[in-house]
Amino acid sequence: MSELTCLELSVVLWLVHVLVQAAVGNAVLPSGYLATSRDKPAEAPGVLYGRSCRALANYLENFTPFVAVALALIATQRTGGAGAIGATIWILARIVYLPVYVFGIIYVRTIVWGISIIGLVMMLGRLIGW
């Protein structure tokens, strides 16, 4: 996949993260809570809501550098090669990461995250000419 395709998919994946968090939140939080200003944090029963919130937070932490490097590759016309492979690795790993995190599959979650970082480093390497 190209860096641009992976960038487009990364926005779709962000939307999936938000919708998963909202769906789980609507199922376990008090009725209408997500429509409020949430001045007081709600205690969500179970672990799925917390995991979906943390998965989204982790995605956002990794999304920012991915977008920056993908846009830099596109702007400098250094797309393709290791950059495209790295972007593909990153997006595929991040797609796998969400269910692995929400369902609490320990060790695999960390491995999948590490794979996504390898993809990001490949992109960065392409950008700076390693």
The pLDDT tens digits for 59-107 are 999 999 999 999 999 999 999 999 999 999 999 999 999 999 999 999 9
How many CA atoms lie less than 13 Å away from 119 in the CB half-sphere? Answer: 26
Contacts of 113 (CB under 8 A, 6+ apart): 58, 62, 93, 97
Domain covering 3-29+46-128 in this structure, CATH number = 1.20.120.550
Range from 11-15, 23-27, 39-43, 49-53 that averages highest in pLDDT: 11-15
Cβ atoms < 10 Å from Cβ of 69 = 26
> Given this model, what pLDDT does residue 39 score?
76
CA distance 37 to 52: 19
> Given this model, what pLDDT does residue 38 score?
67
Domain ranges of the chain: 3-29+46-128
Query: Which tops the pLDDT comparison, 113 or 130?
Result: 113
Q: What does pTM read for this prediction?
A: 0.90
